[in-house]
Amino acid sequence: MESQLLTIQEKAKLDEFLKSLIDKRPEISLRIAEAREKGDLKENADYHAAREELALLEARIKDLETRLRHASVVNPDDIPDDMVFLGSTVKVRDCKTGDMETFRLVGEINKGSFDTDSDVMEVSASSPLGESLMRARVGETVRVSVPRGEIRYEILEVS
């Protein structure tokens, strides 16, 4: 499994989520036991539903534990102020059109959780744009391969 970069806050969220999943185990096990007491298991829908729910829960727990085991936690204090990294908000200029864009580089946990009221577009660090922006510095130009060709962005500001 490829190492995944996480901020300290993202790791804390994943740890908390994992704990909440683990805390559900006894509840589902109790439902299985109660359904088992009702008799014939072949036609016991409650029993089968609870067993399926437990299997899905265990798969999610295993996946999350694997992701956390292979994750690298990034401390923002270790990153130069002018370098784009996880958690950075970066202002860029499209070299062809001159249009200004502002992106926030996020890890996988925050992918898709963007604020629709914000002028900042959240970009996953593992996306083509995120990979191009990662570790770029103010003043540099990055190239992003997109289906319609290539976009070049000049890094104007990192915060």
Is residue 55 within 8 A of residue 24, CB to CB? The reply is no
Q: What is the pLDDT of residue 108?
A: 65
**What is the token pair recorded at 121?**
């577009």
How is domain 76-158 classified at the CATH fold level? Chitinase A; domain 3 (3.10.50)
Question: What CATH class does 4-74 carry?
Answer: mainly alpha
Please report, for the chain, the start and end positions of each structural domain, with discontinuous segments joined by +: 4-74, 76-158
Write the pLDDT tens digit of every residue in 5-25: 777 878 888 899 999 999 999
Write the pLDDT tens digit of every residue in 26-60: 999 998 888 888 777 777 788 889 999 999 999 99
Least Cα distance to 8 among 72, 70, 73, 61 occurs for 73
Is residue 41 within 8 A of residue 47, CB to CB? The reply is yes
Q: What is the pLDDT of residue 110?
A: 52
Write the pLDDT tens digit of every residue in 55-84: 999 999 999 999 889 888 877 677 777 888
Q: How far apart are CA 46 and CA 115, in angstroms?
A: 39
1: pLDDT strictly greater than 70: no
Least Cα distance to 110 among 118, 69, 54, 139 occurs for 118
Write the pLDDT tens digit of every residue in 112-159: 444 554 688 888 888 899 889 988 999 999 999 988 889 999 999 998
Looking at the DSSP bridge assignments, the partners of residue 80 are: none
**pTM for the predicted model, two decimal places:** 0.63
Q: What is the pLDDT of residue 97?
A: 93
Q: What is the pLDDT of residue 13?
A: 87
